[in-house]
């Protein structure tokens, strides 16, 4: 199902209005303790969010400027994946000298400017033997998108920006040449979907690619996910197998009730972003790949937990 495509069958009832946005098993003394993309703390009017990333030294050394850019970009994506809007970025940099750190710091600054989020401070150490980077971000959300609320019967929608290229490894970046206004408005789609009640569960596509992110979403929600290989829609010229493991600069997997699927896809399509249903959420614990009548098991998180965040297993 592509954006603005044919109508999809509806699940008759919607969730009752009094169902809380975060399941009780994901909340402890008011804190959303098991929200992998960001920590969520209630503030009386919504949620304060905190996310952070530490970067593999080889990735930082390969292209320090791009690593700095990604330090901002991936953290903002985590906040958006929770239905939030970022408010500030903090960085932690290790380097042999200020000169060695300069490309890394330039990348951080350039991305913060592009996305319109202040680089509020951090920590530097110019006595380290090699470059190192960690980045944290603060944000706010009115209504959360969680990793724990995908339900059997949901459609799995993949959304991504196809207007990019591979930079290094399997990092598909559509942000470097994009107008700043577009980057900011694209990220704003996620909190808008959350506030409209159109999405209840999801994750941003991370280093595990579509397949690895589907596994994390399935395990957190205690469900099975089936991905239809024929429904994958990689950007032109990209092999579907590589797209399954790619890390896009803008990419999300969303568990959406069928009656909301067309509306969700249409919002992405209106901004030139690809969005279509690539699978479905089922009862069980397996993540499988479907090709016509053939099925291949990728992972069973009940038999072998991947994140093992304390979610009950079958």
Same domain, yes or no: 187 and 102: no
Domain that holds residue 163: 155-300
Evaluate whether residue 129 is within a structural domain: yes
Mapping DSSP onto H, E and C, the string for the chain reads CECCCCCCCCCCCCCCCCCCCCCHHHEECCEECCCCCCEEEECCCCEEEEEEEECCHHHHHHCHHHHHHHHHHHHHHHHHHCCEEEEEEEEEEECCCHHHHHHHHHHHHHHHHHHCCCEEEEEEECCCCCCEEEEEEEEEECCCCECCCCCCCCEEEEEECCCCEECCCCEEECCCCCCHHHHHHHHHHHHHHHHCCCCCEEEECCCCHHHHHHHHHHHHHCCEEEEEHHHCCCCCCCCHHHHHHCEECCEEEEEECHHHHHHHHHHHHCCCCEEEEEEEEECCCEEEEEECCEEEEEEECCCCCCCCCCCCCC
State the average pLDDT over residues 229-234. 96
Is a pLDDT exceeding 80 seen at residue 53? yes
- Cα–Cα distance, 119 to 136 (Å, whole number): 10
* Tens digits of residue pLDDT in 57-71: 999 999 999 999 999
**Section 302-309 average pLDDT:** 87
Q: Is residue 95 included in any domain, yes or no? A: yes
* From 3-7, 99-103, 181-185, 213-217, the region with the lowest mean pLDDT: 3-7
| CB-CB contact of 78 with 250 (8 Å) | no
| Sole residue written with tokens 């804190």 | 31
pLDDT at position 312 is 53
Burial of 258 (0-12, 13-18, 19+ CB in 10 A): middle
Same domain, 107 and 184: no
Q: How much is the pLDDT for 55?
A: 95
Give the chain's domain count.
Answer: 2
Residues 280 and 191 in one domain: yes
Q: Which of 118, 141, 164 is the last residue of a domain?
A: 141
In a domain, 80, yes or no: yes
Predicted model pTM: 0.86
Q: 288 and 193: one domain?
A: yes
Calculate what percentage of the chain has a pLDDT beyond 90: 82
Confidence at 307, pLDDT banded by 50, 70, 90: confident
Mean pLDDT of the chain: 88
Question: Among 141, 165, 192, where does a domain finish?
Answer: 141
| Per-residue pLDDT at 46 exceeds 70 | yes
Same domain membership, residue 108 and residue 81: yes
Assess if residue 23 is contained within a domain: no
What was the pLDDT predicted at 27?
37
**Residues 291/241, Cβ–Cβ less than 8 Å:** no
The domain that holds 114 is classified in CATH as: 3.30.1330.10
- How many whole angstroms separate alpha carbon 221 and alpha carbon 281? 10
């Amino acid at each position: 199902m592509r954006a603005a495509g044919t109508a999809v069958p509806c699940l008759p009832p919607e969730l009752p209005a009094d169902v809380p946005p975060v399941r009780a098993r994901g909340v402890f003394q008011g804190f959303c303790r098991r929200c992998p993309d960001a920590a969520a703390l209630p503030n009386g009017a919504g949620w304060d969010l905190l996310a952070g990333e530490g970067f593999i030294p080889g990735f930082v050394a390969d292209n320090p400027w791009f690593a700095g850019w990604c330090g901002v970009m991936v953290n903002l994506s985590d906040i958006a994946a929770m239905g939030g809007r970022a408010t500030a970025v903090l960085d932690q940099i290790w380097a042999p000298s200020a000169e060695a750190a300069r490309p890394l710091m330039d990348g951080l600054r350039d991305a913060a400017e592009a996305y319109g989020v202040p680089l509020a401070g951090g920590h530097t150490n110019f006595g380290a033997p090699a470059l190192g980077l960690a980045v944290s971000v603060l944000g706010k959300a009115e209504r959360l998108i969680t990793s724990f609320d995908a339900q059997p019967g949901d459609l799995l929608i993949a959304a991504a920006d196809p207007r990019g290229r591979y930079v290094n490894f399997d990092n598909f970046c559509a942000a470097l040449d994009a107008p700043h206004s577009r980057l900011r408005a694209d990220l704003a789609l996620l909190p808008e979907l959350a506030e409209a009640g159109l999405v209840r569960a999801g994750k941003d596509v991370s280093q595990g690619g579509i397949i690895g992110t589907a596994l994390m979403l399935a395990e957190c929600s205690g469900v099975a996910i089936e991905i239809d290989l024929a429904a994958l829609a990689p950007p032109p010229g990209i092999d579907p197998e590589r797209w399954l493991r790619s890390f896009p600069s803008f990419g999300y997997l969303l568990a959406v009730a069928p009656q909301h699927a067309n509306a969700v896809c249409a919002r992405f399509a209106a901004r030139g972003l690809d969005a279509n249903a690539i699978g479905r959420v089922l009862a069980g614990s397996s993540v499988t790949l479907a090709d016509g009548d053939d099925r291949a098991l990728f992972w069973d998180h009940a038999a072998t937990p991947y994140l093992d965040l304390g979610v009950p297993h079958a």
